[in-house]
């Protein structure tokens, strides 16, 4: 996602740099393909006017703690509103909360970038007219992340539930009658299960942290976090 967002910013005429220090060959190849300029270390990236953090949810706070960001720091990761407030404090300076919904943006209509915080409009402006649809939610840090948590709570939460339900039927030796009943009364579920299996096999391990962030978001509002703690378990096993 980071390489794709960088490519969009390049297409908008901006210089886009990244830090290869400690990163894998796969990440280097994606950054090269996106035409991003490697400045080596995070300290060099930190001098930029705007810094985007787009990494696995469990790494968001560590990235912010690299600190000393000179300009606007945008956290675009799938983390809870409480976590993003920690990130903002760690990053220092001006910060913007972000949450991305959709696939890595390559054509219009696929991807929304929700933004919130006092500087959200300035960040949205960077994407004006591009394939990435940037939308300001509010001027409150935490609101953009809350949109992402609520959205992914449904998409990935129900995917995990469907995977667990079919496993249960298999374990009980009743998979065939369940599938026959799905075909009769819930015909969309076979296809949804296939999609959930494909996605979970490809990237389920990366969703464990995101499910834990969603559970924490529910619990912070006095709502049950158990759905998404269970979803984390389902994805941990993939
Ligand atoms: N992909 C999507 O369709 C999508 C959609 C919506 C939102 N997002 C959000 O975008 C973020 C990134 O997701 P992704 O799908 O792009 O993940 P990804 O394909 O696994 O890429 C994560 C990138 O972060 C790097 N990284 C890992 N640990 C790091 C650390 N401690 N410090 C700095 N960089 C680190 C990885 O580098 P290495 O290769 O060296 O590990 C890799 O380049 C997540 O918060 C996710 O929720 C993604």
CATH 2.60.40.3140 correct for 2-140: no
C-alpha of residue 205 to centroid of ligand 1, in Å: 12
What pLDDT, on a 0 to 100 scale, did the predictor assign at position 238?
Answer: 85
Tell me: the pLDDT tens digits for 81-117? 999 999 999 998 799 999 999 999 999 999 999 999 9
pLDDT band at residue 229 under the 50/70/90 scheme:
very high
Instruction: Please name the CATH architecture into which domain 147-236 falls.
Output: Orthogonal Bundle (1.10)
Question: Is the Cβ atom of 1 under 6 angstroms away from ligand 1?
Answer: yes
Taking the C-alpha atoms of residue 235 and residue 19, their distance in angstroms, rounded to an integer, is 30
Please give the DSSP secondary-structure letter assigned to residue 20.
-
Taking the C-alpha atoms of residue 149 and residue 141, their distance in angstroms, rounded to an integer, is 14
**CA-proximal residue: ligand 1, atom 9 (nearest):** 77
Query: CB of 95 within 8 A of CB of 73?
Result: yes
C-alpha of residue 159 to centroid of ligand 1, in Å: 20
Domain with CATH 3.40.50.720 in the chain: 2-140
Q: Would you say residue 21 has pLDDT above 90?
A: yes
C-alpha of residue 138 to centroid of ligand 1, in Å: 25
Question: Is the Cβ atom of 100 under 6 angstroms away from ligand 1?
Answer: yes
Which of 3, 23, 67 is the pocket-test mutation for ligand 1 (most atoms within 8 Å of CB)? 23
What pLDDT, on a 0 to 100 scale, did the predictor assign at position 93?
Answer: 79
C-alpha of residue 121 to centroid of ligand 1, in Å: 24
pLDDT band at residue 157 under the 50/70/90 scheme:
very high
What pLDDT, on a 0 to 100 scale, did the predictor assign at position 2?
Answer: 98
pLDDT band at residue 68 under the 50/70/90 scheme:
confident
pTM of the prediction?
Answer: 0.96
- pLDDT, mean of residues 46-70: 93
Question: Is the Cβ atom of 78 under 6 angstroms away from ligand 1?
Answer: yes
Sign of CA dihedral 53, 150, 102, 97: negative
Q: Would you say residue 235 has pLDDT above 90?
A: yes
Q: Would you say residue 67 has pLDDT above 80?
A: no
Which of 6, 40, 54, 56 is the pocket-test mutation for ligand 1 (most atoms within 8 Å of CB)? 56
Domain with CATH 1.10.1040 in the chain: 147-236
- pLDDT, mean of residues 176-198: 97
């Amino acid at each position: 996602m980071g390489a794709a967002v960088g490519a969009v910013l390049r297409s908008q005429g901006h210089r886009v740099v990244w830090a290869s220090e400690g990163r894998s060959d796969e990440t280097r190849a994606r950054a090269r393909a996106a035409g991003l300029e490697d400045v080596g270390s995070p300290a060099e990236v930190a001098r930029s006017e705007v810094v985007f953090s787009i990494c696995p949810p469990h790494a968001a706070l560590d990235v912010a703690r690299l600190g000393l960001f000179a300009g606007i720091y945008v956290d675009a990761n799938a983390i809870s509103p409480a976590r993003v407030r920690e990130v903002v404090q760690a990053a220092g300076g001006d910060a913007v909360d972000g949450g991305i919904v959709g696939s890595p943006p390559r054509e219009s209509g696929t991807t929304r970038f929700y933004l919130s915080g006092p500087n959200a409009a300035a960040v949205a402006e960077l994407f004006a007219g591009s394939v990435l649809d940037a939308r300001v939610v509010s001027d409150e840090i935490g609101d953009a992340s809350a949109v992402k948590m609520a959205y992914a709570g449904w998409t990935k939460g129900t995917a995990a539930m469907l995977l667990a339900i079919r496993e249960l039927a298999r374990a009980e030796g009743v998979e065939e009658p369940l599938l026959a009943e799905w075909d009769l009364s819930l015909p969309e579920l076979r296809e949804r299960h296939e999609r959930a299996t494909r996605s979970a096999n490809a990237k389920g391990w990366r969703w464990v942290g995101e499910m834990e962030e969603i559970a924490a978001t529910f619990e912070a509002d006095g709502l049950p976090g158990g759905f998404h703690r269970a979803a984390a378990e389902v994805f941990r096993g993939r």
